[in-house]
Structure 1
Amino acid sequence: MFFEVKNLNKRYHHHEVIHQLSFSIHKGEILVVLGPSGCGKSTLLSCINGFEKVNGGKIILEQQDITTRLPEERNISTVFQTYSLFPNMTVRQNLSYGLKFKKLSKIDSIKLVNNMISLLQLESIADMSVTEISGGQQQRVALGRSLIVRPKLLLLDEPFSNLDANLRLRLRRELRKIQQQLKMTMIFVTHDQQEAFALGDKILLMNNGELQQLATSPEIYNNPANQFVLSFVGKVNHLGNNHYTRPEEITITSDPGGDGIITQSTFQGPTIDYQVKLHGKPYQVTCLNRGQVFSINERVTISYHEKEL
């Protein structure tokens, strides 16, 4: 196994932030760590890169125990939410900074910087100050600065959270493309479910410092391991006795004699979200937009297949 965390524990005073956490990653995979705010995601990254000491467990990279190694001895790079670029330097100088600590010739360093500029499509801004470029461009520079030192493992701590939705989507696609080109192993932290689904080869879902489920996106969504996973990932209609159905699994039919009543309607473009009241209970329903829009107070019949947790 390329990277492993075994029975990791981390405490701050008497508060346990991470409890007996174990997982592993194959070389070239993206593992997305997903969970609510305060669940221990960023603390996990700080333990992996050596910025925080652990209180128990092991961190193993390529069969080497790196649990107690200093950050600079781990060959792990981190891209932070704040980018942490040097404002007094150009894009090119920011990219080349980490190479100063490598035993490389000047020619090799220049070649690596030029290759990274080309890979990230930064040619037009390479000699501009990082204070003169956009947020999306700054994020590319931050990514390039971490990639250029050729880490064995790249950690990304909510790197797109300060960007608008369209830019996030574009950079997400670019990151995935670059990761596949370089065959880079990454751990990506986010609280955004769509981001997790789009990026992760596997998703590690955390809550209160504990592993809730480690699986692919379809497995987590379609076969949640427990009530927390079921409620946290996507929308759900709880039917009682551990039975449930997802909003998109419900079919609505217009029926003047139906027992269901449309109480809310939210147009989303390709889909329409409804709330249907049936026998006093609200149901969330998501329908594909096929041109038919149900009206508020319209009577309907709903049908669905129950799932059991």
Structure 2
Amino acid sequence: MTALTFEATSRRLTVAGVDLHLHEAGSGPLLLLIHGGAPGAYGWGNFGQNLPALAASYRTVIVDLPGYGRSERLPECAAPSGRYAANAAVFAELVCELGETSAHVVGLATGGAIAMAMALDHPEVVDRLVLVSSAGALPLFTPSPSEGQKLIRTYYAGEGPSRDKMRAYLTMMLADPDLITDELVEERYQASLTKVDDIGSPEQLWARVDEITAKTLVMWGRDNRVQGYDNALFLLQRIPDVEVHLFGRTGLWVPFERAARFESLLIDFLEDQS
């Protein structure tokens, strides 16, 4: 059996004129995972540790956002309706390019907002929706911008990226400092050296989440200092068919910090027929 390594699962696909990089493994219903947008984020970096468990039951695709990892950037003219909508349109077409009519869609942080936009603008391609530490909601009681959002916005300022800045970001993002290894800092730092200039403006998706028709699972860390867990409570109140799971002693990166539990909750949700 071939090991599910970065290179063994790597492939490229041109979608809507954009050269996308992705990882694919497994068979079964299509499961699309969309990563976050913070410095150093890319598909394998956010979800690579989850691929073996998920690929055992699903045709699992981890995609690099346009402009991140090894994916080509979207052209400036691609986002007249907003940043999330532009990416959502590309990923809706990606589902078709993969030979499927629909997919289960998982979005982390910025990827969550894009997954929301897919469910809102292209509901026919989204079977079930999973939002993890997602952007696109509305904080009910935490400050905006949050501590984490302020730190992210200063990462490329001044002298630019550094290992110290990346370590500070990871310390803020993760609840358990023992997870912050030199190898993790170096990986994320190297991935952050190419700055992504996002196109378009982020839409106010929170005003439309009550239109989401897909059955939805929301996962959040109580100690998330980028998107407070009150965002999850907002989604619980507004999305019609939704359930929420909150983790204590967990920050933003639930698929890494709580990998086994994330995987089991996700699979149980996708397989539940109720």
TM-score (norm 2): 0.29
Which structure shows the higher helix fraction? 2
Which structure shows the higher strand fraction? 1
